[in-house]
Structure 1
Amino acid sequence: MNQRELEAFVRVAELGRMDLAARSLGYSQPAVSYQIKCLEQALGVRLFERNSAGATITRTGALMLPSVKAVLVLMNGIKHTVSSSVRP
């Protein structure tokens, strides 16, 4: 699992649609679908139920969402720390 997959997961969970999540992230809809599929395979669980109206987060996905958001905050903090320490 990587940062892009986690960001896609959060955005789909927030917006309820992969196409809207893709647009907000600047990706194509197939790219977001692929990222979600890869994350689901890595974790061995379904995170969303897909239907014609969009994507509904599963119970497992909803339980995981706060932790994923926290991980992304930590990852962004690490990037900020590293970029700050590299400045002359």
Structure 2
Amino acid sequence: MNERELQAFVAVAGHGRIDLAAKALGYSQPAVSYQLKCLEMTLGTKLFVRTSTGTTLTHTGALMLPSAQAVLALMRGIKATTGDLVLAA
């Protein structure tokens, strides 16, 4: 599980569609689909139900979303802190 996979997961959950999430992230749709597939394989569970009109979180996906958002917020905080330290040095 890595940051890019979590970003893709949170973006797709927020946009409800892989293509819109990909556009928001600046990635291709196949790249975002691959990140989701890797995350689902790592976790051993499906996070979305995919339909022709978009995606819906599974029960597990809905339970995981707040944690994924929190992890990404922590990562942003760490990057901001270390960026500040590098600038101060």
Q: Identify the TM-score tier after normalising by the shorter chain.
A: over 0.9
CA distance in 2, matches of 1:34, 1:25: 14
Asked if residue 3 in structure 1 is aligned to residue 3 in structure 2, the reply is: yes
Structure 1 residue runs of 4 or more that deviate by more than 6 Å after TM superposition: none
* Structure 1 residues not aligned, in runs of 5+: none
Deviation at 1:86, TM superposition (A): 1.1
How many positions carry a matched residue from both structures? 88
Which residue of structure 2 lines up, in the alignment, with residue 61 of structure 1?
A: 61
Partner secondary structure for residue 27 of structure 2: coil
* Structure 2 residues not aligned, in runs of 5+: none
Which residue of structure 1 lines up, in the alignment, with residue 80 of structure 2?
A: 80
CA distance in 1, matches of 2:24, 2:85: 30
Offset from partner CA, 1:22-74 (integer Å, 9 cap, x none): 00000000000000000000000100011101111101000000010000000
Equivalent runs, 1:7-26 vs 2, <5 Å: 7-26=7-26
TM-score for the superposition, normalised by structure 1: 0.97
CA distance in 1, matches of 2:14, 2:85: 33
CA distance in 2, matches of 1:14, 1:79: 23
User: Cα RMSD between the aligned structures?
Assistant: 0.6
Query: Share of identical aligned residues, percent?
Result: 66
